[in-house]
Structure 1
Amino acid sequence: MPSKVILVVLDGLAHSVAQHAMGHLQAYCSAGRGALYRLECELPALSRPLYECILTGVAPIDSGIVHNDVVRLSNQRSLFHYARDAGLVTAAAAYHWVSELYNRAPFVAARDRHTDDPQLPIQHGHFYYADHYPDSHLFADAEHLRLRHTPDVLLVHPMNIDDAGHKHGLDSSQYRNSARRADILLADYLQTWLDAGYQVLVTADHGMNNDRSHNGLLPEEREVPLFVLGNAFSLDPAAQPRQTELCGTVCELLGIAHDKPLCRELLA
């Protein structure tokens, strides 16, 4: 049966930190109401290429979005394209690079920061363009979109974990505490989303290293979490989802036609 979906991308969250810092999400897992998986992000471990990977199922080497300074519309079919074309409602509270990939490029704040256009792939959006934009504001932006537009698919994409990692590195109290704060913010919304019938996925684009960067092959750069919560998930501990399968898996949850790879073992 088709479901509505909220996809949360906690930018820059390494799996190792998600394991011990996300107490509220882990409570769902401990109660048998959620599951945590380890994903290995595609290469390069950079943000814009991996937004494209998560949202289209296409690895950077094939999408052509190979670093953060490739400023153009995606030439791939994204989750938002499939949903819009199926007559569903799409929304995102996200960093402005997401708007540049799927709506309009380059991003013009006065035009694109707040978007309401049924013709665009992301029909309703609040897009920010400062890495220190507070996660608390971003989650409020997302909830505003949910309450106002009842989207079938909503992307929620805060940046403060990544920002703390770039300023202080992986092994820092600032980075770990940014993850803890994101978990506490999620606690204000998660059960409400589930009660409203949403299936929720919480993941990251890439991790972080002690050089205060990410781009390479270190496990702390490539290994990211995937929490799944909702009755449409199998919670099978043997499932081995890939980052390139997230787009297709969300399309399956939405009940819409697509031609993307997916992880069937994640689904009930």
Structure 2
Amino acid sequence: MPHKTLLVLLDGLSYQVAEHAMGHLHAYVAAGKAALYQLECELPALSRPLYECILTGVTPIDSGIVHNNVSRLSSQRSVFHYARDAGKVTAAAAYHWVSELYNRSPFDAARDRHTVAPQLPIQYGHFYWADHNPDSHLFADGEDLRLRHAPDFLLIHPMNIDDAGHKHGLDSPQYRNSARGADVILADYLQAWLDAGYQVLVTADHGMNNDRSHNGLLPEERQVPLFVLGDAFSLDPQARPRQLELCGTLCQLLGVPHDKPFCRELLK
């Protein structure tokens, strides 16, 4: 059975902070309505390569998106492509690199900031380019897209956690409080999304280190959370999802044809 699906990508959120700072999400876990898994991000632990990895199921060395300055359209098929081609509605409130990967490159703010283009993989979008763009505004942009267009697949991608990590490092109150702040914002939306029938995944691209960066092999850089909420999920504590399997798992939830790996154990 196809499900509307919503992916929240909390940029730069390390698992070790998600494990203790996301009180509202953990309340769903404690109530048996969600599950938390630990993922290990692919390498390199950089944003643009991992957006591509999450949304296409292809490793950076295979996609060619190997660092943040590779600014071009993806050569891979993403969840947006599969959903659009199956007649589904797609939307994203996200950093402009996502638009550059799947819609048009280079990003032109006047043209692309507010996207209404049913022919493109991301048909409806609100895209931003400042890392300090308030998460509260970004979630409101995502909710605008949901209420206005009723997308089958919606990506919401805020940046303030990553921004705080680059300014202050992993072991800082600013980084931890930015994660707590995202959790509080999520509390305004989660139940409404679930009540509307959405399956919700909350994850991150990469983590953060005490050097105020990421691109290495430290656990705090590579280990990221995956919270899943919705009646299509098994909540099986033995499931071992991989970051590479997120694209295929999203396609399974959407009920669209695809050729990507996915995590069977994550789903009922």
Same fold (TM over 0.5): yes
What is the CA-CA distance between 1:77 and the residue it aligns to? 0.2
Confirm whether residue 203 of structure 1 aligns to residue 203 of structure 2.
yes
CA distance in 2, matches of 1:40, 1:61: 16
* CA deviation vs aligned residue, 1:11-42 (integer Å, no higher than 9, x gap): 00000000000000000000000000000000
1:114 aligns with 114
1:191-216: per-residue Cα shift (whole Å, max 9, x none)? Answer: 00000000000000000000000000
User: Residue 68 of structure 2 corresponds to which residue in structure 1?
Assistant: 68
Corresponding letter in the other structure for 2:131? D
Residue of structure 2 in register with 1:149 after alignment: 149
Q: SS of 1:238's equivalent? A: coil
**Separation (CA, whole Å) in 2 of partners of 1:253 and 1:161:** 27
Q: Show CA shifts across 1:209-234 (max 9, x none).
A: 00000000000000000000000000
Q: Write the distance in 2 (CA, Å) between the matches of 1:156 and 1:101.
A: 16
Which residue does 1:164 correspond to in 2?
A: 164
Distance 2:59 2:164 in 1: 26
State the number of aligned residues: 268
Provide the secondary structure at the position in 1 that maps to 2:106. Answer: coil
Alignment partner, residue 173 of structure 1: 173
Percent of residue pairs bearing the same amino acid type:
82
SS state of the match for residue 252, structure 1?
helix
Q: 1:49 — aligned with what?
A: 49
Deviation at 1:189, TM superposition (A): 0.1
- Report SS of the residue matched to 2:142: helix
Q: Secondary structure at the match of 2:94?
A: strand
SS of residue matched to 1:161:
helix
Q: Which runs of 5 or more residues in structure 2 are unaligned? A: none
Instruction: Please state how far the C-alpha of 1:106 moved relative to its aligned partner.
Output: 0.3
Q: Which amino acid aligns with 2:81?
A: H
Q: Distance in 1 between matches of 2:3 and 2:120?
A: 22
User: How many angstroms apart in 1 are the aligned matches of 2:17 and 2:235?
Assistant: 21
Q: Considering only aligned residues, what root-mean-square deviation do their CA atoms show, in Å?
A: 0.2
What's the CA shift for 1:113? 0.3
Q: Which ranges of 4 or more aligned residues in structure 1 deviate by more than 2 Å?
A: none
User: CA shift at 1:69, angstroms?
Assistant: 0.1
Instruction: Extract unaligned runs of 5+ from structure 1.
Output: none
Shift of residue 154, structure 1, vs aligned partner: 0.1
Residues of 1 paired with 2:201 and 2:236: CA distance? 15
1:174 match: secondary structure: helix
Look up the match of 2:124.
124
- Give the superposition deviation at 1:158: 0.1
Q: State the distance in 2 between where 1:157 and 1:55 align.
A: 12
Residues 126-153 of structure 1 deviation map (CA, whole Å, 9 limit, x = unaligned) = 0000000000000000000000000000
Name 2:86's counterpart in structure 1. Answer: 86
2: CA distance, partners of 1:242 / 1:216:
18
What's the CA shift for 1:190? 0.2
Q: CA deviation at 1:74?
A: 0.1
What residue number does 1:222 align with? 222
Hey, what's the Cα distance between the residues in 1 that align with 2:238 and 2:64? 32
Secondary structure of the structure 2 residue equivalent to 1:2: coil
Letter in structure 2 aligned against 1:209: N
Looking at structure 1, the residues matched to 122 and 2 of structure 2 have their Cα atoms a distance apart, in angstroms, of 20
Q: Distance in 2 between matches of 1:142 and 1:253?
A: 20
3-state secondary structure, aligned to 1:97: helix
Q: Distance in 2 between matches of 1:167 and 1:124?
A: 32
